Structure 1
């Protein structure tokens, strides 16, 4: 069970947590979780079906219903529990022929369970910051939560069938005040409403396509990763995942926006603005945003001008969006030139690998700050987009100024960073060359024919001959490098964003066949290995998180773009 079970808008999810996962300090099993924050208290209840003494669970799911079978086998004789998330703040379990046990994870001593009346129980989980109400609609709820002065830890809830062998229970989130009880339609009606919501979303975002089955899983990931506004999340937003990395990083959102743009421009724009809502007074963007905190220790690369430029070509932005984009991109661009150019040479630098988005890429083995070809490329493209926006907003003088700045900076960056015929990483201040075999410098191919023909030829020759292209796509570190690692994060594995950027770069450089080949290999990789955070570049094995939104987004974009190319 690689994909969390959730629904659009909800902060609740059900996930299988493996014993090998070092980020969770809980026993292996199936858990009802909240995806708020990133703390140890995301796991609310462990789910067990103790029929016939068995604890193993087999799960099957559609977007609207998860079916759980006790004992690890699908058998009506041993029972089944159906799960639905009918609203963004509730989960419903319906079962027959088995028990349902929900066990809390030991947490702060002030967490507790108290009876509410009519068989319902209120559960206050301090660590997770949640209050829940458990209401049996059918069957009997047995509670083991002995009171201990100020709390009742641990807590265990067992749902027993009625005389007909069936039960039905709903778990609902609430704040301080309990509103009048919601009427609960038949389980099938609630599940049908959820299914209709997903199908409407899927229809807006491509419906059937050349990769329809896998594409539907991609659409499910995007749909289910949406959360409603809460805390620092100011808009309906697609989280990176509802598994481990339950936040938004300040470049992930661009790829999601591009996938959503053709079908739902407003939702796509919310993805862009959910980060720009936290742009600071200096124009900087945060590293990441969670519902309960904004991480400002790092930033992320200025891919936003490139992404918004693509959105403009797709016709996704109305005038109000263009006005917003222009103001935010101008401040974001000025930040880099005003506050990230410590040696004053006119070429901004990264302070850390995290600022590049490629956290541990091989250039950052050396002490930053580093002036980087990809950063220069993104800033050039961002100024190009600002010029286009200024034209469309009738700001002709500003459009001319942005084009002049872009041209001048291209000239400066090229002369300043070029070593052995191409732009490379150099140390800020000393300007010594930083040796590396990362894919990062190849992103300068996004400049297309603005690079000299000799530079393009040199880069393309190295790309094809020096161990970057594999059976499954394009590695983030040369497979021939001494720094290559099969599960090295940005030291080798194939990632969706690096693939998408390189495919676009190759198209811009006139290398259509190679672009389509690498894009197609990535599509095959996802078809084979799912929507992982990244992949072993040699074997194609999925790595890390297995339900990543920007992997799903990139799959949908490439499937659309490659099929449309001659």
Structure 2
């Protein structure tokens, strides 16, 4: 692949380092930068600007990135970069050199360490680096100014009698552990290639026409994993290594689903990672990274639906896995009724749009907290999953309790949220009347648990080409709504998670032809426009972050599970 660094970073499995194109701003010039993605998405983490040099001068170059090697190609020569390990960036130059210009802030500094190596201490990003040449020279300029270096420029360049330069940039947090021996650049590249080849082989197969999309999705998911470190109890597949450099507590579910058949251990790590840090009252954090978790909001309880899907589509989960998740999932379910039912009427609320995952949906236009039928639908499925786990673990009383609670919530939900024509959301007991959000169609995930007339009504609304349905899929706000925006986040664009949930609900409802058609639409759109955060519902254009893992995972799931099978006639 030829990876465009303006849209997709160059990174690797396990690494907190990333290389991206960054535009000019108040404190840096336009260019290609080595970044750190530690600490979340408040800062892009720009560390070093990368330039190709000849005889000490920066020269023009083109960045040509593939999955495992980045080439900085100039007319005079080339610099190749690889991540030999998660914390190591190897450098190999022919006829030209590489310049690293630190984005300097207070206290940042560099000094000669030993054996030709220089240490760079980036106070502002809480990280340090060791720069070491193997072949050629390393010249560093880092003038001291009271309590830091006024700037740091490091040049890896060939000797005059030798046209090659080779070196390494090693990242470390505490103690630098120097190796006695390093493999050659080519040997290191072969190792990374082998590692990536295994990942690609374990990526879900798709029909031939979607192979280019599979290749892109495989790279994005592989390169967006960071290793277990700090606050993260397991390896984590971030949403992106562009800007969304965290893991969120519903995004992780879709990534786990795409991994469960071919990479079950990593899939289970993705599913369990938030339950590892679960609060005593059952709450899961909104998101987390290597340095902290954020608790001011939560995400919808799709975990029961996710686990049921994983059990249905894979034989890789064990009884031990189910025993591990049972109590945490039980606490997460109970939390909604204990902590998110302010008026004690039996219907949990979203206290902010972010709690629903649909941050700025028109359901929240009039105020908060909102009682919404999708939340009840998720909880019904979660209770049913708990009942299934209890049955497999021979907890008979729990099995009967969860089944009874699920059935009762379904009865109450239909009486409270269905007005005879449609599902409605409630604010202070009154129907929400702003906008026309696709979120109110999410109860289709209950499929044949719903009365036939309600199920038919929902399907009819989803098929209405004058409302949500476009040639690319289902818009998140009706195109006829006064609140619809082409780039309106959850007020119009097509998203992977809503598409996946609705397709699964339609399949379970017997609407297989329609569900598969939606899967085709989404996969065609992602194949053409990339694995974007979301998509223009009318044009299909990729919007916002263009290297998103849950989009990649949903593409792989849909292309593998729903597109490449024979379409059956719908039956209700």
2: CA distance, partners of 1:54 / 1:155: 16
TM-score scaled by structure 2? 0.94
Shift of residue 51, structure 1, vs aligned partner: 4.8
The equivalent of 1:564 in structure 2 is 565
The equivalent of 1:186 in structure 2 is 184
1: CA distance, partners of 2:557 / 2:534: 17
Greater Cα shift, 199-208 or 357-366: 199-208
2: CA distance, partners of 1:17 / 1:103: 14
Q: Deviations over 1:140-188 (max 9, x none)?
A: 1121210112211321112222222221120001233332334221111
The equivalent of 1:410 in structure 2 is 410
2: CA distance, partners of 1:14 / 1:404: 53
Q: 1:480 to 1:49 in 2, by over 3 A?
A: same
The equivalent of 1:146 in structure 2 is 143
1: CA distance, partners of 2:85 / 2:205: 24
Q: Deviations over 1:71-121 (max 9, x none)?
A: xxxxxx42111110001111011111223111111212x111000133210
Task: Name the SS of the counterpart of 1:194 in structure 2.
Answer: helix
Is 2:7 the partner of 1:6?
no
The equivalent of 1:312 in structure 2 is 311
Contact kept? 1:64, 1:192, Cα under 8 Å: no
Counting matched residue pairs gives 555
Task: Name the SS of the counterpart of 2:216 in structure 1.
Answer: helix
Shift of residue 431, structure 1, vs aligned partner: 3.1
Q: Deviations over 1:421-470 (max 9, x none)?
A: 3321111x333334331110111101111112221222222222242111
Shift of residue 207, structure 1, vs aligned partner: 5.4
The equivalent of 1:103 in structure 2 is 101
Q: 1:363 to 1:41 in 2, by over 3 A?
A: closer
Q: Where do 1:161-560 residues align within 5 Å?
A: 161-162=158-159, 163-206=161-204, 209-210=207-208, 211-313=210-312, 314-427=314-427, 429-465=428-464, 466-560=466-560
Contact kept? 2:424, 2:431, Cα under 8 Å: no
2: CA distance, partners of 1:396 / 1:460: 36
Structure 2 unpaired stretches of 5+ = 568-572
Shift of residue 195, structure 1, vs aligned partner: 0.7
Structure 1 unpaired stretches of 5+ = 71-76
Greater Cα shift, 457-466 or 163-172: 457-466
Shift of residue 344, structure 1, vs aligned partner: 0.9
Shift of residue 357, structure 1, vs aligned partner: 0.4
1: CA distance, partners of 2:93 / 2:534: 37
Q: Deviations over 1:521-566 (max 9, x none)?
A: 1101111011111111111111111111101100110011111354
Is 2:57 the partner of 1:49?
no
2: CA distance, partners of 1:171 / 1:158: 12
2: CA distance, partners of 1:177 / 1:561: 47
The equivalent of 2:122 in structure 1 is 125
Is 2:43 the partner of 1:40?
yes
2: CA distance, partners of 1:54 / 1:101: 8
Q: Deviations over 1:14-46 (max 9, x none)?
A: 111235xx9x96432111111111343611101
Task: Name the SS of the counterpart of 2:125 in structure 1.
Answer: coil
Contact kept? 1:7, 1:224, Cα under 8 Å: yes
Supply the RMSD in Å over aligned alpha carbons. 1.7
Contact kept? 2:365, 2:434, Cα under 8 Å: no
1: CA distance, partners of 2:561 / 2:59: 46
Q: Give 1:61's match in structure 2, choosing from 55, 58, 65.
A: 65
Contact kept? 2:136, 2:162, Cα under 8 Å: no
2: CA distance, partners of 1:550 / 1:180: 37
Task: Name the SS of the counterpart of 1:184 in structure 2.
Answer: coil
The equivalent of 1:73 in structure 2 is none
Q: Which consecutive aligned stretches of 4+ in structure 1 deviate over 6 angstroms post-superposition?
A: none
Q: Where do 1:85-96 residues align within 5 Å?
A: 85-96=83-94
Q: Deviations over 1:219-247 (max 9, x none)?
A: 11111111111111110111111111111
Contact kept? 2:366, 2:432, Cα under 8 Å: no
2: CA distance, partners of 1:116 / 1:256: 42
2: CA distance, partners of 1:274 / 1:362: 31
Task: Name the SS of the counterpart of 1:449 in structure 2.
Answer: helix
Contact kept? 1:421, 1:454, Cα under 8 Å: no
Shift of residue 206, structure 1, vs aligned partner: 2.9
2: CA distance, partners of 1:267 / 1:90: 23
Contact kept? 1:141, 1:157, Cα under 8 Å: yes
Contact kept? 1:41, 1:107, Cα under 8 Å: no
Shift of residue 295, structure 1, vs aligned partner: 0.3
- Higher relative contact order (CA closer than 8 Å, sequence separation 6+): 2
Shift of residue 512, structure 1, vs aligned partner: 0.9
TM-score scaled by structure 1? 0.95
Contact kept? 2:36, 2:47, Cα under 8 Å: yes
2: CA distance, partners of 1:61 / 1:103: 21
